[in-house]
Structure formats: C-alpha cells, structure tokens
Amino acid sequence: MTAYLSTFPDAEIELLSVLGPKFGSYRFSTKLPGSFTGIAVRIHRISGANRDITIDRPIVDIDVFSTTGEADASTAARAIQAALLALAGTQTTNGVIQRVATVNGPRWLPDANQNIIRYGATFEIYIRAVS
C-alpha cells in the first residue's frame, strides 16, 4: 500500500483569500494591474521550502502600491503586516496557517513608475494542508 502526503496549499492563493475580505478597498492580486487607483497589493512567493513533510514555509513578498501617496502606502503595508501576524491558527480554503514571521518589515522601495509609491515587506508563512 502506497501512502500519499497531502499537497501543500498555494500560499499566494490562500493569502489572497484571507486578506482580500479584510481589506475590501484594496485591490489584491499576484500581478500588479496595468492601471489602478488607490491601493493595489501584490502577493508573490519568492522562495522557501518545507522543512518537514507536513509544513511548507514559503517566503512571500507583499508589495503595496499607492497612487495617493507615501503615507497611504506605509499605513496599508503596516495594517497588512498586523493582519498577517494575527493569522496563527487560521484555517483557509486549502490549508492552515500555523504562524507568520516577518523577514523584512514594511519599507519604501523604488518603482520604475514615478507616479506610484511602493512599500514592500517579506514574510515567512508556515502553512500546512487541511487534514
């Protein structure tokens, strides 16, 4: 008899499904939209790996883009960070977020488009499949 392990949930999709409803006025996606107004948030897995057979530990960049100013981008990035850190034990559609650790906190980052302010942060997400 062959035993199969559960497939790890896609951290980007799970974070989109959890953060989107918490911040209804922000536009969440895995790619920056061609045009937007207000706040757009890009969630992108940049690395990470499982350390055992049950928990994946993706490293995820969350970039906040604002057309309305630096204060708005900074405030949004810090609110998202607080929401992420509070997700310990949260069941998502396909997984359970065990904990979230900040790798790099929200900070201003340059962007090629001079009309957009960008704040980015990097997080390690401890996530497992739903049993």
* Phi, psi for residue 108 in degrees, rounded to 5: -65, 140
- Domain coordinates in residue numbering, the chain: 11-129
Q: Is 28 helix (H, G, I), strand (E, B) or coil?
A: strand
Average pLDDT across each block of 10 residues of the chain; the chain has 131 residues. List them in order. Answer: 78 97 97 94 97 94 97 98 97 96 98 94 96 74
For domain 11-129, which CATH number applies: 3.30.2000.30, 3.90.1150.10, 2.30.30.100, 3.40.50.850?
3.30.2000.30
pTM above 0.75, yes or no: yes
φ/ψ region of 18 (left if φ > 0, alpha if ψ in -120 to 50, else beta) reads alpha
Token pair, residue 4, equals 């199969």
